[in-house]
Each structure stands twice: as C-alpha cells, then as structure tokens.
Amino acid sequence: MVTTSIFPGRYVQGAGALDLLGEEAARLGRKPLALVDKSVAALVSGALHAKDGAPFDQQEFGGECSEPEIARLEAIAREKASDLVIGIGGGKALDTAKALAHALGAPVIIVPTLASTDAPCSALSVIYTPEGAFHRYLFLPQNPQVVLVDSALIARAPARFLVAGMGDALSTWFEAEDCRIKGAGNMTGRPGNATAYALARLCYDTLLEYGEQALRACERQVVTPALERIIEANTLLSGLGFESGGLSAAHAIHNGLTRLHGTHSYWHGEKVAIGTQALAILGGRPPALIEEIYDFSARIGLPTTLAGIGLEDASDAELLQAAEAACAPGETIHNAPYPVSPQAVLAALRAGDAIGRGL
C-alpha cells in the first residue's frame, strides 16, 4: 500500500517571529501582495516591508473566504503583477490568501494572528458562500511555502480564539484514527503513514497536558512554554494531523451545522468540538474517553451543548437538515469505520447535548 504525507515548506514560530517576514519574503518574490485582516492591520503594519524597507502592497480582507472575494483580489493582484501572496489574519483570511496564490500561480506566506484553526499549514482552502455557509473544499497542489507564527501576536488576541483552536485540534486524533482503522484516504486521497497518525496522537496529548496552562497565559497576554506548545498543537500538529491523517465525522458534522443560521456567530473550532463529541458517540468510543473529551471541553470553555453554538431551540427537523448535509455524498463522514446516516448523526447530536447539559 502506498501512503502519503504532506507538509508546509517551512514553519517558523516564536515571539517576535513577524520581524522575519521581510527576510522570508525576499526568498520567494519581488512584488508581494499582503492580504491583511482589518482587525490586525495596526498590529502588523510595522513589519509589512521588504528587507530594504520598501513597503508591501496591502489589501484589506473582505471578511469571507468566498468565490467573489477571491475573484476581487485576483483582479487586483494581476493588475499589480504580484508574484507573492502574504496572508495575515485569521483562518478565513489565510484560506483566501492560499486560494488567491493558487489562482495566480504564485507562492504564499501564511502569517496567522490567531491560533484558532489548523488552516495555516494545509494545502486546502475552505470556501464559504458570501453569507457564511460552507460551499466547498478547494484542494491545492502544494502547501504554503512558509508558515510564520508570532506567539506574541497570538497572545494578544482574545483567549476565545485559542480555545476555538483547541476545539479544532481536539478532532485531529479521533478523525485520523477513524481513517487509520478504515484505511481511508487523507487529503491526498491515499492513506497516511505512521508519522501522520503519531502526530495526530501527539496533538491530542498536548492539548490535555498543556491546554489549561496555555489558556491562563493567553488570558494574561503573556507567552509561556505551555502557550507555545498549544500554539504548535493548534497550528502545526493539528494541520499535519488532519491533512496527512485524514478527516471523518467531526468536520462533516461541522459543515452540516453551518447550514443552520444560529451557528454563524460561532467559531469554526467551537462547532468542530460539538462534531467531535458527536463523533465519539456515533463511533461508540469507550465511556471513559467520551468523559475525557467532555471534561476537557468544559474545563477550557469549549461548548458541550447545542445551546453553546446557538442551537438551544433547534428542532429535530432542523438538526436533521444539518445531519443530512453532514452525510452528503463525498463528505468526510464516509471515512468513518462505523455506520453513518442522517438519523444516526441526529441521535448523536441529541445524546451529546444531553451529556453536556448534565455537566
């Protein structure tokens, strides 16, 4: 059997890493376009220049990783003859930067200012509708050339983002394990190897060991070794684990939940956490492991009930709509080594909500 794992070209992490942006950009292009989240523009503006001090062209991210936004930016980049894309901000800005670089045939540098998702390292962009509903995956031919993570910037963001990143990372081992057992393909379409599955397990173990300490540091906007470990888990380990290990039910359930308007004000990782809890029930994980998932989620402030993602009053009909979307042909839930159906997903969501209400 042929197995495959994929990785970003270079991963740089630490307090003050943003100061290396000009140096990294000089290796890859002469006319960079920096796509910047409006919310962090003031924080990063001092670093958006080449080694010789020439400023990068800057464009403000429109707020949604959608086909119209990518097309808008592509027109600007082609007019300016940009030969390098630098994405700076949260997960949707970074996915947009990756998609833009692909459209241009240019390299990309990814600079996450949040540790809220595992998007930065992957050769994947999640495309949404302009209204925020999941639309499709865009599979890219290669991973980012550079992922540059400034831990001091991450520490300045509200702690909820770090917690959401832990929610996204929480799914990594469970989904990779599903794929390993079934022999399902990862993002390349081929099974992962032992390295991928070991990194996915390391991601889970790191969350349990350092998650609470890292949260306390982030709440005080200070960088500690524990925070560095969780930033790495949320960004690198989770990214490598999902991409090279594979996805199954948790992210498919997340995608289904985005069909319900009440979830749109909640972060990706918060909804993925609900998907992971449902996955554990759907897959018949041991009760002690399910208890561990819920206990960890509650201790760091991840949602454990449907109310926690805006679905307190959701009807069975509404949840079934989400469950049907989660089980659509081609969705990653079909990588699971256990029976899946919309009715089973609905039952897992309701059972998981009951467990969370009992905490």
The reply to whether 227 sits in an annotated binding site is no
Query: Is position 268 annotated as part of the catalytic site?
Result: yes
* Residue from 87, 277, 71, 263 nearest 167 by CA: 277
The reply to whether 93 sits in an annotated binding site is yes
Which among 150, 178, 254, 353 is annotated as catalytic?
254
The reply to whether 118 sits in an annotated binding site is yes
Which among 102, 150, 178, 251 is annotated as catalytic?
251
Which among 102, 150, 178, 268 is annotated as catalytic?
268
The reply to whether 95 sits in an annotated binding site is yes
Rounded alpha-carbon distances, angstroms, from residue 140 to 66, 103, 122: 16, 10, 9
How many whole angstroms separate alpha carbon 268 and alpha carbon 302?
11
Please provide the DSSP assignment of 156-191 as one string. HS-HHHHHHHHHHHHHHHHHHHHHHHHT---TTSS-
Residues in a beta bridge with 108: 85
Which among 150, 168, 178, 353 is annotated as catalytic?
168
Query: Is position 251 annotated as part of the catalytic site?
Result: yes
* Residue from 203, 135, 170 nearest 275 by CA: 170
Six token digits for residue 9: 């070209």
The reply to whether 43 sits in an annotated binding site is no
The reply to whether 89 sits in an annotated binding site is no
- The b/e string for 63-72 (b: 16+ C-beta within 10 A; e otherwise) is ebbbbebbee
The reply to whether 268 sits in an annotated binding site is yes
The reply to whether 116 sits in an annotated binding site is yes
The reply to whether 128 sits in an annotated binding site is yes
The reply to whether 124 sits in an annotated binding site is yes
Annotated binding site for glycerol: 118, 168, 251, 268
Annotated binding site for NAD(+): 37, 91-95, 113-116, 122, 124, 128
Annotated binding site: 37, 91-95, 113-116, 118, 122, 124, 128, 168, 251, 268
Report, as residue numbers or ranges, the catalytic residues.
Answer: 168, 251, 254, 268
